[in-house]
């Protein structure tokens, strides 16, 4: 369920980004609406999932990282890239989610992921 949800969210965000029928102003308005309505709901779902698991845990509900964790990490990375013009609003939303914040720190400290993040050649968005 957690892995499938990441794709549902990605479709919303990328759907706005790639909608050629929208002007830049219309896209900006849709991104703001997403951050005000859909994003708190969807990200709140992941916040609650992490809160139900053990302290220091992952989306699997255990202390073992799962495929869903990497998909969700990538989704948040995509948010930062696609919503770069709305970064302060995204950061403010994520600041209200301590479980996601702590989880992201754990994910970023994973050796191979840290190496990947430090590589300047990785794609964004």
Structure confidence at residue 93 (pLDDT): 97
Angle ∠(51,114,118) on CA atoms, nearest 5: 135
Q: Over the chain (125 residues), what is each successive 10-residue block's mean pLDDT?
A: 86 94 96 96 96 92 93 94 93 97 96 89 64
Residues 82, 19: contact at Cβ < 8 Å?
A: no
Q: Number of C-alpha atoms within 13 angstroms, CB side, residue 90?
A: 16
* Nearest partner of 52 among 119, 2, 122, 111, judged by Cα: 2
**CA separation for the pair 14, 36 (Å, rounded):** 17
């Amino acid at each position: 369920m957690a892995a499938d949800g990441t794709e549902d969210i990605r479709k919303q965000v990328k759907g706005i980004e790639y909608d050629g029928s929208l002007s830049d102003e219309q896209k900006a308005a849709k991104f703001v609406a997403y951050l005000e309505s859909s994003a708190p709901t969807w990200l709140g779902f992941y916040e609650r999932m992490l809160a139900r698991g053990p302290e220091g845990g992952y989306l699997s509900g255990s202390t073992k990282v799962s495929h869903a964790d990497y998909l969700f990490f990538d989704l948040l990375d995509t948010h930062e890239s696609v919503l770069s013009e709305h970064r302060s609003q995204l950061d403010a939303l994520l600041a209200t989610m301590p479980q996601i914040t702590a989880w992201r720190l754990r994910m970023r400290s994973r050796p191979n992921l840290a190496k990947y993040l430090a590589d300047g050649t990785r794609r964004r968005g």
